[in-house]
Amino acid sequence: MQYRTLGRTGVKVSALALGAMNFGRIGHTTQDEATALVDEALDAGINLIDTADWYSVGESEEMVGKAIAGRRDDIVLATKATMPMSEEPNHQGGSRRWLFTALDDSLRRLGVDHVDLFQIHRWDPSTSDEETLSALTDLQRAGKIRYFGSSTFPAHRIVQAQWAAREHRLSRYVTEQPSYSILQRGIEAHVLPVTEEYGLGVLAWSPLASGWLSGAVRAGQDITTSRSKVLPERFDLSRPTNRARLDAVEQLAVIADQAGLTMIQLALGFVTAHPAVTSALIGPRTLDHLRTQLAAADTVLPADVLDAIDTVVAPGIDLAPEEKHDTPPALLDPALRRRR
């Protein structure tokens, strides 16, 4: 297992990190299965576990807490908040009121007195940067979090938050967690240059592109991934976006075969090759999934393979831009593009 420094924190984390979104009802993973996944991941050298309060409405955090009991000090533990946790309008967002409550709830579910990394799951346009950063700084000073970061922030919001931290003399985000894969390379154009400029650690989620790059999706075969059951529209081949993805997958499969690699090794090796990326978050549901992904732990793609990938999906291009989670609101809501 390779280890990298998480931004400028000095903390060493594994190049592959264990994402726990599938723990609980989302992935239909039981406690025994989750514990087995954590055990094997730790034995393989993974030392970063990432979860969120929103994953199965707290169930993922509870499972992670039970799985790491007795081994807390050896784990870099990360969780997230801001996504809706109930129909109550104030049980979400980046306000001081909610973040204090959300973190206490997460600590209780995880069975710990602090987390190493507390992340803002999505930018909250209704809350000022000063409000959120002030709350996070106070939680850090209270010893409940060691560091804090952002997740799926557009580049301009990352810059704005860095400016706000300096302007108001508050602690700053030290990490960003964006979606990144061979099929979704848009962050190379804007987000990754910004994270490099500010020295942020980058934890890339969905490096297998929701299963498109797992090797299970090929032309002429029924598409059967866990995500295809939850989000069938993302695999509907009547949609031009999905036909483009399938065409890219077929070309990538040839590159992987010629290099003597599995598709998973190609996909994870690509993500961890970028100098701005600290870790790729893998989210296995089963031990078999985990083992095939761990096989990529030491994969280093040579320049000719990386060049070949560039000919299939050009740098900075998203094959499914409509699935981005960091799109400025004005691009999604026409009313925001009209003078009042």
| Radius of gyration of the chain measured on its C-alpha atoms | 19
Phi and psi, residue 14, nearest 5°: -70, 150
**What is the residue whose two structure tokens read 């209704």?**
126
Name the phi and psi angles at 177, rounded to 5. -120, 95
pLDDT at 237: 84
pLDDT of residue 230: 61
pLDDT of residue 61: 98
122 contacts 83 by C-beta, under 8 angstroms: yes
Digit-by-digit pLDDT tens for the chain (340 residues) are: 999 999 999 999 999 999 999 999 999 999 999 999 999 999 999 999 999 999 999 999 999 999 999 999 999 999 999 999 999 999 999 999 999 999 999 999 999 999 999 999 999 999 999 999 999 999 999 999 999 999 999 999 999 999 999 999 999 999 999 999 999 999 999 999 999 999 999 999 999 999 999 998 888 777 666 555 667 788 888 899 999 999 999 999 999 999 999 999 999 999 999 999 999 999 999 999 999 999 999 999 999 999 999 999 999 999 998 887 777 778 778 888 898 7
Please report the pLDDT score of residue 329 as a whole number.
75
pLDDT at 232: 76
> What is the three-class DSSP state of 263?
helix
- Number of residues in the chain: 340
Q: Are 16 and 169 in contact (CB under 8 A)?
A: no
For 124, the token pair is 């909250």
Amino acid at 300: V
Q: What is the reported pLDDT for 295? A: 94
Q: Where are the alpha helices (DSSP H) in 21-113?
A: 31-43, 59-67, 96-110
CATH of domain 3-335: 3.20.20.100
Question: Do the Cβ atoms of 279 and 16 come closer than 8 Å?
Answer: yes
Q: Which residue in 268, 260, 270, 305 sits closest to 289, CA to CA?
A: 268
Where exactly are the structural domains of the chain?
Answer: 3-335
Is the distance from CB of 116 to CB of 146 less than 8 angstroms? yes
> Contact, 109 vs 149, CB < 8 A?
no
Cβ pair 296, 268 in contact under 8 A = yes
Instruction: List the one residue out of 77, 75, 97 whose CA is nearest residue 88.
Output: 97
Catalytic site includes residue 147: no
Of residues 3, 55, 147, 198, which has the active-site annotation? 55
